Structure 1
Amino acid sequence: MRTLRRFIAAVLLTAVAGAAMGAPAAASTSVVTRGSLVAVNPITTYESRAQVQGLLTAGGFDAADARYGVSLHQLIYRTVDTRGQVTTASGLVALPVNDARHLRTVSFAHGTSVYRGDAPSVADDLFLTGPAITFASAGFAAVAPDYLGLGAGTGPHPWMDVPTETSASLDLLRAAKTFAARQGIGLDREVYASGFSQGASAALGLSEALQGGADPWFRVAAVAPISGAYALRKAEIPAVFTPEVQPRLAAAYMAYLLTSYDRVHDIYRDPAEVFKPDYVAIGDLLDASHPGPEVLEGVPATVDDLLTDAGRDLLRRPNARFAAALREADSVCEWAPRVPVRLYFSPGDEQAVNANTVACRSSFAARGVRVPAVDVGVDTSYSGMVHEGSELLAVPQIARWFSTMAGSH
């Protein structure tokens, strides 16, 4: 049984046990603290629709469908780490400035960040906060997890670790429900899940967990991942050795993958086995305390400059522990959704290659589920990259789709 399936079962048992015992939220075990709210830090409020429209437009998002002002809040909450121990994480909650007392929720999971300051609840970059603001201005309660180790979290971030991306997302939903109730707002059961890049896998992991009954209240209503790396072993890793992936970013992603997976799964004995001498200490650069530009300056121009022969071989022919970890990451499309799913992508993505979307769609089809792939076009205005532009293009489209679905319920 896959780790994520075990996680879903464990979360369900935890929720049932906690309800049966009537346990207080302040208890010290993971059975009763998952999703409990530790602190709330107000960030800012955009009082009017016009303010939100101006903000989103300046950030490159289509703001034509913005309806309300938005208030932003950082939540600190209890969740679990990669070993199942209780820890804290942070996330952004965005609420519409209106009179609604009941709201449906959108969970949006952000893309890859190497620096803990580049997370939705602490960043001032509209690329990170814009999705939550877009969904909240459309009338949803929007939650955006920072993930472990980012935002107000501590320690290195376990990149592309689907179980903790799922748990951080699920536990933020629970914390947001408590927070909203304190504002006199009830969150309906329906959760619309989306996410970009790394967050595309997180959105699918959360959706599978909710469909599997991981929470006694929340249930998934629709899923709309954007430009994900759904097939690391079949699509993404082979592509980093080709011009299809931007070369320096390919080196950065593979350094992040190997160092993160080694921390969690112990996939090599010594960094010198896999990294060339100048990059043996690259894991220190990827500890979430170094800003993105510093990290990019510290990685070589290509994957071949980064890795030893053994390192390249590890990626191409993973050992047992690494293979098991990659199977976990690649399992996000290996289930049969009972709700609508759309996979959003931009053609020519130079980071999460389009073969990932093809593989995910095929995996769902093999389970009897037809999932459309939505080509959002190309926008390189944000970073000069197709990949980032896919978020700017897809998020407003997804907000319209979710709004249409919510209105039909």
Structure 2
Amino acid sequence: MSVLCCGLLLGGPVVAGAAAAPSAHTRTGQESHGRGTPVSAEKLYTLDSAQAVAAELRGAGFDDGAVRHGVVAYRLVYRTVDPEGRPTTASGLLVLPLHSERRLRAVSFTHGTGVHKNDSPSMSRGSFVSAPVIAHASAGAAGVAPDYLGMGKGPGPHPWMDIDSETTASLDMLRAARTFAPRTGHVLERPVQVTGFSQGASAALALGRALRAGEDRWFRLGALAPVSGAYDFGGTELSALLAGRLDAKSGVLYAAYTLVAFNRLHHVYEQPGEVFRAPYDGTVEALFDGAHTGEQLMRGTPATLGELLTPRGRELLAHPTGPLAAALRTTDAVCTDWTPRTPARLYLATGDEQAATANTTRCRKALLRNGADVPVVDVGPVDYHGSRHLGSNVAATADIVRWFRQLREK
């Protein structure tokens, strides 16, 4: 689905005070597959003045108060690895400020859920998924945003909520941006300011964890500000979804995407009819092929979970076992098995209809147990296209742009 349809979001043992060990996939080394090597770079557009950027941001519904520069935007296609560690390519958006310092701090923004390949930063100008990147660049940073595997110009289906591949795609996009930046007269500094929304909030925490663990020779974590994530996806989020505490249609879409996406990687069910009721058992998997729009997904799914799920499908989400449970443990570890040692904040909106705010509460408590007292910032009741969840990204972006700029200027 388009993020404008439903917002789509999304977000082990505790090792206090420790950085996480590299995962099996990210441990594959950058050099082994030329990871982070640019394959192509395409200039997408130039907003040649602060006034032009301000108009672009306002048109997308975002704050323009921190704009200082015009910007130039590029789509990078780069080498990375798939969930099995095999070579593949991905794309992403790099936005640079005009008439700025030669040395730039990178801000990595990881976006919320979309189902069509175009629901990604490098494919959507002046949109909900690209506006935060433009906003950070216009404030004097290098805005870096992976499209994720299977999105944008990437081949194959998107491995939704697969933390390992979100991390490798994000880290390799940073590497590609660093390699490309000198062609524009810039170099990227070592510290990276990391943020992300919804699905991208979990991805941001995972990228921060990788940078903290030294998984890149150059970049290190400079600051962290995820927004409205489902950090305890397998517990808090799925429980709230099944209990009807979240928006009903969003719950249908997330339940469907969870089963389809996790089945692709982890063999959760044999036949769709085991988990989806007719007629959706014959149609729902195709809706998540990257070629269907959010509107098509909305029309092609029912209004309630009872119409979508079989008893077996509901039981799998309520009490995950086997490969699904193991995969969800990895997804849900983004707050529990590491400690940020840099400035960090967690953003949310009270009344979020898609990401239960208890996810953020649990994340903060887990980080505190590990020795990091990370404050929670409630951005208040800001709606975007009728969604408090989407509104949290708009409101938080304005605050994070200013906060990150203050940190850079210290």
TM-score normalised by length of structure 2: 0.93
Deviation of 1:12 after TM superposition, in Å, equals 5.6
Assess if the C-alpha contact under 8 Å between 1:12 and 1:213 holds in 2.
no
Assess if the C-alpha contact under 8 Å between 1:40 and 1:76 holds in 2.
yes
Change in CA separation of 1:215 and 1:8 when aligned onto 2, cut-off 3 Å: farther
Assess if the C-alpha contact under 8 Å between 2:242 and 2:318 holds in 1.
no
In structure 2, distance between residues paired with 1:222 and 1:40: 27
In structure 2, distance between residues paired with 1:243 and 1:385: 17
In structure 1, distance between residues paired with 2:274 and 2:27: 41
Q: What is the match of residue 277 of structure 1?
A: 278
In structure 2, distance between residues paired with 1:317 and 1:126: 37
1:57 partner letter? R
Q: How does 1:244-393 map to 2 (within 5 A)?
A: 244-281=245-282, 282-334=284-336, 335-380=338-383, 382-393=384-395
Q: How does 1:110-129 map to 2 (within 5 A)?
A: 110-129=111-130
Equivalent of 1:14 in 21, 26, 29: 29
Assess if the C-alpha contact under 8 Å between 2:28 and 2:85 holds in 1.
no
1:389 partner letter? G
Deviation of 1:184 after TM superposition, in Å, equals 2.1
Q: Secondary structure at the match of 1:42?
A: strand
In structure 2, distance between residues paired with 1:71 and 1:327: 40
Q: What is the match of residue 51 of structure 1?
A: 52
Per-residue CA distance 1:68-124 (angstroms, 9 max, x = gap) = 001010000001111111001000000000141110000000000011011100113
Q: What is the match of residue 135 of structure 1?
A: 136
In structure 2, distance between residues paired with 1:144 and 1:184: 20
In structure 2, distance between residues paired with 1:243 and 1:268: 24
Q: How does 1:61-80 map to 2 (within 5 A)?
A: 61-80=62-81
Deviation of 1:347 after TM superposition, in Å, equals 0.5
Assess if the C-alpha contact under 8 Å between 2:121 and 2:147 holds in 1.
yes
Deviation of 1:125 after TM superposition, in Å, equals 4.6
In structure 1, distance between residues paired with 2:289 and 2:147: 15
Which runs of 5 or more structure 2 residues have no equivalent in the other structure? 1-11, 14-18
Deviation of 1:243 after TM superposition, in Å, equals 3.4
Q: Secondary structure at the match of 2:333?
A: helix
1:14 partner letter? G
Change in CA separation of 1:289 and 1:13 when aligned onto 2, cut-off 3 Å: closer
Q: What is the match of residue 173 of structure 2?
A: 172
Per-residue CA distance 1:111-155 (angstroms, 9 max, x = gap) = 000110111001135211100000000100010110011101121
Assess if the C-alpha contact under 8 Å between 1:8 and 1:212 holds in 2.
no
Q: Secondary structure at the match of 2:29?
A: helix
Assess if the C-alpha contact under 8 Å between 1:8 and 1:213 holds in 2.
no
1:354 partner letter? T
In structure 2, distance between residues paired with 1:238 and 1:378: 24
Deviation of 1:268 after TM superposition, in Å, equals 1.4
Assess if the C-alpha contact under 8 Å between 1:80 and 1:164 holds in 2.
yes
1:158 partner letter? P
Structure 1 stretch displaced more, 118-127 or 324-333? 118-127
Deviation of 1:11 after TM superposition, in Å, equals 4.1
The RMSD of aligned alpha carbons is: 1.5
Q: What is the match of residue 227 of structure 2?
A: 226
Which runs of 5 or more structure 1 residues have no equivalent in the other structure? 19-30
- Number of residues paired by the alignment? 392
Q: Secondary structure at the match of 2:73?
A: strand
In structure 1, distance between residues paired with 2:20 and 2:335: 13
Q: What is the match of residue 21 of structure 1?
A: none
Per-residue CA distance 1:221-249 (angstroms, 9 max, x = gap) = 11000000101122110111233211111
Q: Secondary structure at the match of 1:402?
A: helix
2:142 partner letter? A
2:377 partner letter? V
Deviation of 1:271 after TM superposition, in Å, equals 1.3
Percent of matched pairs sharing the same residue? 46
In structure 2, distance between residues paired with 1:98 and 1:181: 15
In structure 2, distance between residues paired with 1:321 and 1:80: 21
Deviation of 1:55 after TM superposition, in Å, equals 1.3
Q: How does 1:180-199 map to 2 (within 5 A)?
A: 180-199=181-200
Change in CA separation of 1:366 and 1:56 when aligned onto 2, cut-off 3 Å: same
1:62 partner letter? D
In structure 2, distance between residues paired with 1:242 and 1:33: 46
Q: Which has the higher contact order (CA 8 A, sep 6+)?
A: 2
1:104 aligns with 2:142: no
**Over 6 Å off, 4+ runs:** none
